[in-house]
Structure 1
Amino acid sequence: MFIFIFQTIWLFIDDFAGKGLDIFIIGKFLFYLMPNLMERVIPLTVLLSSILTFGSFAENYEFAAMKASGISLQRAMLPLIVFVTFLGGVTFYFANNIIPISEQKIYNLRRNIAKVKPAAIITEGVFSDLEGTEMNMKVDRKYGENDRFLENVIIHEKSKTKVNTTVIKAKSGELISSEDSDILQLVLKDGHYYLDVSTKNNKEKKKNPFTKANFRTYTINKDLSDLNDVDLDEERDVSTDKMKNISRLTKDIDSLKEDNVRLVTAFSKNIVGRMGAFVPMKKPDSVGQIAIDKKKKEMDSLGTKMDTDSILALYPSWHQSQILSSAKSATSNIITSIQGKKNELQIKYKIYRLHILSLHKKYALALSCIILFFVGAPLGAIIRKGGLGLPMVIAIILFLTYYFIGVFAGNYAKEGNINPIIGAWLSTCIMLPLGVFLTRRATADKGLMSFGSILDYFKGIFKKKDKIAVT
């Protein structure tokens, strides 16, 4: 836990360093983050402790004494199997009840810190919303005391209708605030100001009126009086897949699936209607039908088939250009609609996959404790080394293999390349046969790899070939 907490500090050092936050707030954040680290800490702890314990037993010939007394490896492992099974149940309860609460606490704490310290939520290189204002800001770099100085500032300011009508760009800026003041002052230098002018006159709207100006210094004052009395423990009704327990995830997975199917069905009907596909055509009148039949007979006599060009040939040249232009325009509009809806659906289905992934990860985490014990305990008995040397190296290698397989599988599952259920269970399922193999080897009192039997196997193959060659 100590190692992973330090890793977390390095990950979030940019968010908290130099923001004027006291040690109590940072300590509270790390305390809320500790349950989330348990899904990595517990499997590694079980694996390492089992290798160390059984390696020490084997190194001191305590297993030899047990076997001489008639106690097998399975019987020696039985109390720990019961304990690890109980630990798996506790881990499952922890993942289902405690971790979602801690995720909610972390989210609320970070949001409330951002309200108290506006500079803390301005992330370099991306647009960030300023709490309590209608401004959306992007900066290339923050520097100076409390990150008060900004470089290459872009601001989008929303109107009452939540539309970005104002764009401000400046080469540099400075955030000026005081704990005793309710005013946040943003001073911009060397920039441009652009504003879309709203008008009720339809003729003027078609002209798209706007205002543009250059400035050397531009000051924006924002009243933050509602933010200064913020309670850092204030709760918000916001939930992601990590903030939900199994019952909530199961319910939301069904809802998301139904919503996605309904959305795809409605969009497909809309596209089919716009394309005119599968729509019964009106029968042509007698004159038109005679012309079509005549054209068909001419084509049949020439041995040609009805295709797009032959259908167009039924119409006058001026009408053909109109048909082609209309078809190109309709196709272009449909492709644009499909591309826009594709991005929306990808986001919705990614959320759906994340919920499935989070649901099965809770079960996989509990089972991984048991499986990694069956990997570590027999491995320790086989290598017969205690202490923190070789067992530590082997445990870290095995855990990194388990962890990175889980990370890669999870990322593939999020993007839809593999099934989310496989993404959640892949690393655990890979460790399962390894645990069975090592347990069988340790029970039979064999080494990790019997090179003698492998050599005998190949010798037998070569002897058979020699006999066949002689005959």
Structure 2
Amino acid sequence: MKKIDKLILRSFIGPFLITFFVVVFILLTQYMLKYFDDFVGKDLGFTVFAELIAYFSINMTPIAFPLAVLLSSLMTFGNLGEHFELTAIKSAGISLVRVLRPLFIFVVLLSALVYYSNNFIVPKANLEAYSLLYDIKQKKPSIDIKEGAFYGGIPGYSIKANKKYDDDKSLGDLIIYNHSDRKGNTEIILADSALMYTILGDKYLVMELFDGKSYTEEDANKPNKPANYVRNVFQHNKVVFSLASFEMERTDKELFSSNRLMKNENELRYDVDSMRNDIIDSKKTIYQYTSRFFTQHMNDVEDIKPPSVVYWEKMKADTTDVSGPDSLKKKNQILSSERIEALDSKKDKGIINDSLKIKDKLKLSKTPKKFNVHGIASYDQELIDKVDSAFNKKNNGMSTNIVDKPRFAKNRLKGENRRIDNREFEINVYAIEANSKLSQAVACIVMFLIGAPLGAIIKKGGLGFPVIVSILFFIVSYVINTTGIKLGRAGDISNFWAVWASNFILLPFGLFFLRQARNDSRLFETDYYAVKIAKVFKFFKKEK
């Protein structure tokens, strides 16, 4: 490695690390504020917060890496240009592309690391983070008895203190209702004052009561038997409450593993394939029940079965006969789903030969013969009786309602179509998540191609103008990504373009800035535009 490569790398690594951690901190702060209400008053401790922050920091890295690359590359080459180091390098006969080469190789390797992180590390961190966040939400707040209000946080008890002192431990004019035996308020304790504290590692709450009375009604729920009424007067008494319900219990993480955020690309694509197969099964179910709804019109359902369902049934039968490893079966299933999707799309365009043959067959077999209806003057009652007899025989003598049957068919078809629409939406969501694993990694390269040449053109380092330019391009990328994901989930655009549109739109800007930087363009210098404007005014003055 030459000295110039070491110089460029040292100039880049420092700003990159600083900007990366700053961006992660800003994104993490903004994200954690959404759950601030779930943390308040629960006495979680430093360990829980540190674990949660660490996991969510990893969750922020897919967004932080491209922004950090853009900002650090712009700052690096802006500093080199501001201190005339870039000019000295060019005067030595070294081109800008040669200067960019070590950083470009570094960014390519970084993109590979980002892809690995997005595909394997981030899903595991998401599993840990969201399972921990769920447990935090389920945890009860720490005991906070309000003055003059009943507190029911302890299971089986209702506590009211009409006076609460500043030390948060001393209470006055206390009332405790004990209904832990689920027989109603059969035990009431009144006390003039009380002192509360915890013991055994905050597992139990102790209330020391002073100058009070207790009232107990025993056997109150037994019929035909008078209840025993007991009253006690005390000067000092202790009541111990279990705080087991306040402890945070960890939920089994496997319950959260089915979420798309906890899966890698292969698992997401396998789920997409399974959901496509589920859609085909739903279509098959619809056509299996068609003959029950329209017995007089569709006796042979096989004639109207769509090509995708026919192909799926054939491939499913062939797959079950394969005696090989599971990977081969999965490959056949994935292939079949892709072929099925292609068949459905072709069918929608009307270019499937099978559908044309089916239509011709239906025309030949189902189209009634034409006859002159005006030539029929009256109906023979014997003929009508024969028709009614044939209809009753066809329906096994059951009386049918011509309104209920199509209504039931309509409701069932609506339900199946709604299920298919939900599955298609889930397919779009999972496919977008799978495609974003690689697109976010490639975004680092695109942002470098924008930031490095732009810094060489601007020739301004530090955290001033480069930050503004970086935020501008990041906002553009974020808006394009958000819009694309929204349209992709709705099915308006393909899942590929939903996540790759920002890279393809911003890449020409990077190539344009690279071309301008190689030609030492004065793209962002006001003097350059002032001279151009002066020439334009001079041209118009000559014409006059």
Match of residue 469, structure 2, among 390, 394, 403:
394
For 1:242-284, what per-residue CA distance to the aligned partner results, in whole angstroms no more than 9, with x for missing partners? Answer: 1111222232222221122212221243246423443369xxx
Q: How does 1:286-297 map to 2 (within 5 A)?
A: 296-297=371-372
Normalised TM-score (structure 1) = 0.64
Letter in 1 for 2:153: S
Distance 1:29 1:267 in 2: 47
Distance 1:60 1:89 in 2: 32
Distance 1:437 1:422 in 2: 22
Match of residue 68, structure 1, among 64, 81, 91:
91
Please say if residues 145 and 151 of structure 2, whose CA atoms lie closer than 8 Å, have aligned partners that are also in contact.
no
How far off is 1:52 after superposition? 0.8
Kindly tell me the number of residue pairs found equivalent between the two proteins.
349
Q: Would the alpha carbon gap of residues 273 and 451 (structure 1) be closer, same or farther in structure 2, given more than 3 Å must change?
A: farther
Match of residue 33, structure 1, among 56, 73, 78:
56
Are 2:455 and 1:432 aligned? no
Match of residue 271, structure 2, among 233, 252, 255:
252
Please say if residues 108 and 233 of structure 1, whose CA atoms lie closer than 8 Å, have aligned partners that are also in contact.
yes
Q: How does 1:378-389 map to 2 (within 5 A)?
A: 378-389=453-464
Q: Would the alpha carbon gap of residues 331 and 79 (structure 1) be closer, same or farther in structure 2, given more than 3 Å must change?
A: same
Letter in 2 for 1:47: L
Task: Give the fraction of aligned pairs with identical amino acids, expressed as a percent.
Answer: 26
- Report the 3-state secondary structure (helix = DSSP H, G, I; strand = E; otherwise coil) of the residue aligned with 1:12: helix
Equivalent position of 1:21 in the other structure: 44
Equivalent position of 2:491 in the other structure: 416
Distance 2:79 2:440 in 1: 27
Match of residue 105, structure 2, among 40, 60, 82:
82
Are 2:82 and 1:59 aligned? yes
Q: Would the alpha carbon gap of residues 184 and 299 (structure 1) be closer, same or farther in structure 2, given more than 3 Å must change?
A: farther
Distance 1:263 1:174 in 2: 53
How far off is 1:364 after superposition? 0.4
Equivalent position of 1:99 in the other structure: 122
How far off is 1:46 after superposition? 0.5
Are 2:85 and 1:10 aligned? no
How far off is 1:20 after superposition? 3.5
Letter in 1 for 2:152: I
Letter in 1 for 2:471: I
Q: Would the alpha carbon gap of residues 403 and 184 (structure 1) be closer, same or farther in structure 2, given more than 3 Å must change?
A: farther
Equivalent position of 1:279 in the other structure: 299
Equivalent position of 1:44 in the other structure: 67
Distance 1:17 1:229 in 2: 15
Letter in 1 for 2:30: Q
Equivalent position of 2:152 in the other structure: 176
Q: Would the alpha carbon gap of residues 431 and 146 (structure 1) be closer, same or farther in structure 2, given more than 3 Å must change?
A: farther
How far off is 1:298 after superposition? 3.9
Distance 2:156 2:490 in 1: 41
Letter in 2 for 1:396: I
Larger Rg: 2
Distance 1:73 1:245 in 2: 38
How far off is 1:301 after superposition? 9.6
Please say if residues 42 and 139 of structure 2, whose CA atoms lie closer than 8 Å, have aligned partners that are also in contact.
no
For 1:34-80, what per-residue CA distance to the aligned partner results, in whole angstroms no more than 9, with x for missing partners? Answer: 11100111111001111111111122222221111011000000110
In structure 1, stretches of 5+ residues that fail to align are: 121-143, 150-172, 188-216, 282-291, 303-313, 320-324, 467-471
Compute the RMSD of aligned alpha carbons.
Answer: 4.1
Equivalent position of 2:254 in the other structure: 236
Q: Which runs of 4+ in 1 moved over 6 A?
A: 184-187, 219-222, 224-229, 449-456
Q: How does 1:160-199 map to 2 (within 5 A)?
A: 176-178=152-154, 183=155
Letter in 2 for 1:362: K
How far off is 1:109 after superposition? 1.0
Are 2:430 and 1:355 aligned? yes
Q: Would the alpha carbon gap of residues 348 and 394 (structure 1) be closer, same or farther in structure 2, given more than 3 Å must change?
A: same
